[in-house]
């Protein structure tokens, strides 16, 4: 059964991106594909849409295909691609790629395109179900961690490890944009922020090539960075506006509270406790709670701090609109003395290029 879709051109519906330098063939394929899914047919020199297509059908010479490649590279998972090959040898095999001769009859081209649309539709549905399960599982774990901390019960290290694996798997498979979109479908307050920071940390850590062990440690620290907020009154956490001086004093105790909780339990490594205690420090020494400066602020703290600030700026709040990725990064760059500029320079492409916001 083919996936039928409207053809009104809305941004969120699935579409096939058809690029062909043969106008007659392009028009015929567009008409046929539009019967089952929106088709955006372009000449090779036209601007490529930034939205992620359901399928790419490429009908251009090899040199033109190579020139288009940067614009046709989307965040993971790879977009299925049907290539109408001309004169060059076969492309390296890949699960998402199918290649047939450009001279193949149009019926053969359409049969392959329709089969790939159907397969991609099933794959998308499977990924969406898996992502929902991962977000639901991670949300339940973070909720349990915060509830246990609020009641003075011990945190289960196994739960933290399971939450870490869920975040890493989801972001690796679906990307940060899909992760945030799924997280933001539910109104879960401080847990949304925790899951957003963890997702950004997983994305950034992968981007800069952290080892698996360091990446897991980073995401674990991100999941726990705000655990001290479990002991902050909910009316302060959810206040729709600026905090008064006493409320701010209480709020600024959460890093110390969280670090003390983990230290008392004795099961969490020092690097994670360091992030929990110091994620509000600044490189210029004007942060809290210990006014650390420069080299005293560790790399793991610097990374989580960037993810924490970016998440806070781009999240929806009852009292303000979220910043766009570009707006948030501009604010962060202008916050002199706060964040590590080298890490921020590495962080920016992952956020600007990965649709990294929940709309």
Q: Could you state, in chain order, the average pLDDT of each consecutive group of 10 residues for the chain (359 residues)?
A: 36 85 96 94 92 94 90 84 82 80 94 93 87 94 94 90 96 89 77 94 94 96 96 89 92 96 92 98 97 97 97 82 91 94 92 51
Domain 15-122 bears CATH identifier 3.40.50.2300: yes
Neighbours of 2 (CB within 10 A): 12
Residue with tokens 């099933």: 122
Cα angle 342, 345, 349; round to 5? 150
Cβ neighbors of 319 (< 8 A, separation 6 or more) are 240, 241
Report the pLDDT value the prediction gives residue 185, as an integer from 0 to 100.
Answer: 82
Domain boundaries in the chain?
A: 15-122, 154-353
Domain 154-353 bears CATH identifier 1.10.357.10: no
Report the pLDDT value the prediction gives residue 152, as an integer from 0 to 100.
Answer: 86
Report the pLDDT value the prediction gives residue 106, as an integer from 0 to 100.
Answer: 94
pTM: 0.75
* Inter-residue long-range contacts of 341-347, CB under 8 Å, 24+ positions, other chains counted: 343/208, 343/299, 343/302, 343/303, 343/306, 344/306, 346/204, 346/207, 346/208, 347/204, 347/207, 347/306, 347/307, 347/310
Containing 100, the helix (H) or strand (E) segment is: strand 97-101
pLDDT tens-place string over residues 225-270: 999 999 999 899 888 888 999 999 999 999 999 999 999 988 899 9
Tell me what percent of the chain is helix, strand and coil, each rounded to the nearest 5.
Answer: 55, 10, 35
Report the pLDDT value the prediction gives residue 3, as an integer from 0 to 100.
Answer: 39
pLDDT tens-place string over residues 103-121: 999 999 999 999 999 998 8
Report the pLDDT value the prediction gives residue 89, as an integer from 0 to 100.
Answer: 61
């Amino acid at each position: 059964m083919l996936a039928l879709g409207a053809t009104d051109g809305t941004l969120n519906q699935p579409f096939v991106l058809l690029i062909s330098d043969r106008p007659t063939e392009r028009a015929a394929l567009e008409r046929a594909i539009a019967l089952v899914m929106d088709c955006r047919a372009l000449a090779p020199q036209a601007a490529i849409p930034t939205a992620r297509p359901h399928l790419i059908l490429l009908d251009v010479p090899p040199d033109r295909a190579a020139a288009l490649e940067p614009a046709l590279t989307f965040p993971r998972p790879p977009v299925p691609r049907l290539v109408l090959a001309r004169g060059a040898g076969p492309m390296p095999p890949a699960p998402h790629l199918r290649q047939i001769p450009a001279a193949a009859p149009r019926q053969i081209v359409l049969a392959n395109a329709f089969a790939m649309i159907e397969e991609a539709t099933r794959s998308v549905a499977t990924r969406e179900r898996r992502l929902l399960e991962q977000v639901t599982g991670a949300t339940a774990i973070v909720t349990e961690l915060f509830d246990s901390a609020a009641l003075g019960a011990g945190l289960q290290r196994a739960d933290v490890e399971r939450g870490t694996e869920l975040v890493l798997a989801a972001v690796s498979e679906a990307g940060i944009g899909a992760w945030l979109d799924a997280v933001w479908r539910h109104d879960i307050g401080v847990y949304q922020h925790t899951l957003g920071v963890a997702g950004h940390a997983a994305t950034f850590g992968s981007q800069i090539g952290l080892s698996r062990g360091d990446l897991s440690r980073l995401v674990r620290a991100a999941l726990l960075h705000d655990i001290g907020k479990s002991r902050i009154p909910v009316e302060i956490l959810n206040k729709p506006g600026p905090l008064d001086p006493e409320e701010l004093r209480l709020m600024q105790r959460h890093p110390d509270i969280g670090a003390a909780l983990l230290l008392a339990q004795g099961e969490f490594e020092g690097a994670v406790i360091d992030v929990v205690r110091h994620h509000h420090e600044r490189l210029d020494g004007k942060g809290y709670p210990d006014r650390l400066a420069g080299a005293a602020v560790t790399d793991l703290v610097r990374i989580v701090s960037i993810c924490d600030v970016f998440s806070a700026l781009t999240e929806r709040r009852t009292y303000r609109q979220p910043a766009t990725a570009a707006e948030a990064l501009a604010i962060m760059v202008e916050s002199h003395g706060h964040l590590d500029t080298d890490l921020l320079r590495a962080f920016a492409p992952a956020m600007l290029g990965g649709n990294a916001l929940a709309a």
